[in-house]
Amino acid sequence: MFLEALKNAKSRTKNDDVNVFVETPKGSPHKYDLDESGLFRIAIELPEGQCFPFSFGFAPNTKADDGDPLDIILLTAGTVPAGALIEARLIGVLKMENDEDGKMARNDRVVAVANMSRVYKNIESLSNTREGFAWDIELFFENYNRMIDRPFKIVGRGDKEEAYRMLERAEQAC
C-alpha cells in the first residue's frame, strides 16, 4: 500500500515545499524502516527511557549521495503517525558521517519544519531554533550510533539554501 502510493508521490508540493514521508514518529522508542513489501519493520529499539526527539523520514522519489532517499528530520510539536505524508519547508542541514562497510561516508540529515506546525511556524533556519537545539539533535545521533556500535562523526551544519540544493540533487539522481 505505502510503496504504491510512494511511487506516485512527488518530492515537492505545489508551493515548492517538500513532502516528508514519516517512517519513525517523534516519541517512538523504535526506529522503523519501510521494507520492500511496503510494511514497517522495527529496525532498532532504543535503550530504556530513550526515544526519537523528532519525527524521522525521507523525501519520496529522491536519492541522496548515500544511495537512500534523502533523510529528513521533521520538526513538529507532537507526534504524527508512521506513514504520514507531511508538507514541510527545509531550514538547514546537519552534516554527519558514519561507517558504511568499513569506510566513513557522509550521511547528512536535512531538517524541515512541518507546515502545519504552530509551534515551529516562525522558524526559517537552524539559527532561528532555540539555543542548543541543533546540538541536541547531533547528540541524539552520536548516542544512537554508539548504541549500534557504528563509528560516527559530526561534520558541520548547513543553511536552508544548502538543504534545497541537496533536495534538487536527490531529485535529479532518482
Q: What is the pTM of this model?
A: 0.94
**What pairing do the DSSP bridges indicate for beta strands 71-75 and 109-114?**
parallel
CB atoms within 10 A of CB 41: 13
> CA 75, CA 79: separation in Å to the nearest integer?
10
The string of pLDDT tens digits covering residues 132-160 is 999 999 999 999 999 999 999 999 999 99
Q: pLDDT per residue over 93-109, tens digit each?
A: 999 999 998 999 999 99
Residues 6+ apart with CB under 8 A from 95: 106, 108, 154, 155, 156, 157, 158
Any idea how long the chain is? Answer: 174
Contact between residue 157 and residue 134 where contact means Cβ atoms under 8 Å apart = yes
Beta bridge partners, 85, equal: 21
The grid coordinates of residue 34 equal: 519501510
pLDDT bucket at 5, cuts 50 / 70 / 90: confident
Asked if 72 and 22 touch (Cβ cutoff 8 Å), the reply is no
- Residue 97 pairs in a beta bridge with 106, 153
DSSP designation for 118? S
